[in-house]
Amino acid sequence: MGRFMLRRFVNYLALVIIAASLTYALAAISLNPRANFEGRNPKPSAASVTATLNEYNLNPDTPLLVRFGHWAGGVAHGDLGRTVTGGQVNDEFGRRVGVSTRLLLISTLLGSMGGVMVGAWGAIRQYRASDRISTLASFGVLAMPVFVIAVTLKLWAIDLNDAVGHKVIEYTGEYDPGLSGTGEILLSRLQHLLLPSLTLIVIQIALYSRYQRSSMLDVLGSDFLRTARAKGLSRKAALMKHGLRTAVLPVVPLLVYNVVLLFTGATFTEKIFGWHGMGEWLVNSISTNDVNATAAVGLFTAVVVLIAGLLSDLLYAALDPRVRMS
């Protein structure tokens, strides 16, 4: 087991290094940081722009390999380089991971638990009205791009606020900077958290319930459930204790995988609701030609995929005694 995980880890690590290098190379070739300075008013002189670009290791005229060497050397020492505006990518990175975590914590918890519950419930009541409705609803949600869900929720919130005549639901940013007092700040944060969380929760419930439903259906006809019933357990107890536990097994690794991937997958949610997290950074850094920031996001995503893969492997082995990895 230990050796297996180690081999797995080394393999993933190689992939991460290559993926991150490729991302840096693509970003360095494709994005043009010089354009950012030329758009400024008053327009800086060409020489000073070149000097600044050189200082930030962003000059497109420097050979790619040289730039890559600088960047990789920095990354090896834990320095992700400078942004287009001269800030440290590291600082921005830390801030944004924090924002993303605050956004994702509650919503993934509620979303994954809700998804498992809805899926199991649908399977137990297969083809009844409630199952049909929840299946149809999850189809509906999965047929919607995230930005459609997010913008629709935002428009509804605006309508609601107008109807009430008071800003009940907030839809931009993480908090109101003008507030003081713990209670008020907490309330404001909750108000701001509601819509982006709802977006993420709805999507996750729809997705996980599909998997949970089909895995629960497989379990429902199994012998061990019949045995449990024959032992005298009530249907509910048998389903809860033996059915759900077995059925959730195959869904857990997938769940972990998706949860971890949400860190950059929440791009639309963050962007539309104005949360300055990793997902928003991805879009912003590309549209502002910020090569080092883009590379940082690429590196982060690759590492996150690595962690997700390892974690789901480990969790599966821990949960399912039938799995022997050697």
Partner 1 sequence: MAVQTPSVQPTASSTAVTTRPAPRRRSRTRLTAIRFARNRTALFGLLMLILLFLMAYVAPLLYKWSYTDLDFNAFQQPPSASHWFGTDQTGSDLFAMTARGMQKSLVIGLLTGVICTVLAAAVGASAGYFGGWTDRGLMWIVDLLLVMPNFLIIAVLSPLFQGTTWLVFVVLLAAFSWMITGRVVRSMTLTLKDREFVKAAKYMGVPAPVIIFRHILPSMASMLIIDGTIQVGTAIIGETSLSYFGFGVQAPDVSLGTVIATGTPAAPSFPWLFYFPAGCLVLICLSIAFIGDGLRDALDPNSSRAKARKNRKSQEGPTS
Among 6, 64, 148, 164, binds partner 1 (CB under 8 A): 148
Q: How far is CA 252 from CA 92, 147, 246, 256, 320, in A?
A: 32, 27, 11, 6, 11
The whole-angstrom separation of Cα 140 and Cα 136 is 6
Residues 211-230 that bind partner 1 (CB under 8 A): 217
Nearer to partner 1, 15 or 109 (CB): 15
| Helix boundaries (H) for the chain | 2-30, 34-38, 46-55, 64-76, 89-124, 129-142, 146-164, 182-220, 223-230, 235-238, 245-248, 251-265, 267-273, 278-287, 291-319
267 binds partner 1 (CB under 8 A): yes
Residues 94-133 that bind partner 1 (CB under 8 A): 126-127
For the chain, the C-alpha Rg in angstroms (whole number) is: 24
Among 48, 85, 152, 172, binds partner 1 (CB under 8 A): 152
30 binds partner 1 (CB under 8 A): yes
271 binds partner 1 (CB under 8 A): yes
DSSP 43: P
Among 66, 142, 237, 323, binds partner 1 (CB under 8 A): 142
The whole-angstrom separation of Cα 208 and Cα 256 is 11
299 and 23 Cβ atoms separated by less than 8 Å: yes
Nearer to partner 1, 32 or 45 (CB): 32
Q: How many CB atoms lie within 10 A of CB 227?
A: 12
140 binds partner 1 (CB under 8 A): yes
Instruction: Find the shortest distance in angstroms from Cβ 72 to partner 1.
Output: 17
301 binds partner 1 (CB under 8 A): yes
The whole-angstrom separation of Cα 278 and Cα 265 is 9
Among 97, 113, 179, 286, binds partner 1 (CB under 8 A): 286
- Piece of the chain touching partner 1 by CB under 8 A; list 93-101, 111-119, 245-253, 295-303: 295-303
- Piece of the chain touching partner 1 by CB under 8 A; list 12-20, 64-72, 80-88, 101-109: 12-20
Give the largest CA-CA distance in the chain.
85
Interface with partner 1 (CB under 8 A): 15-16, 18-19, 22-23, 26-27, 29-32, 126-127, 139-140, 142-148, 151-152, 155, 158, 217, 264, 267-268, 271, 282-283, 286-287, 294, 297-298, 301-302, 305-306
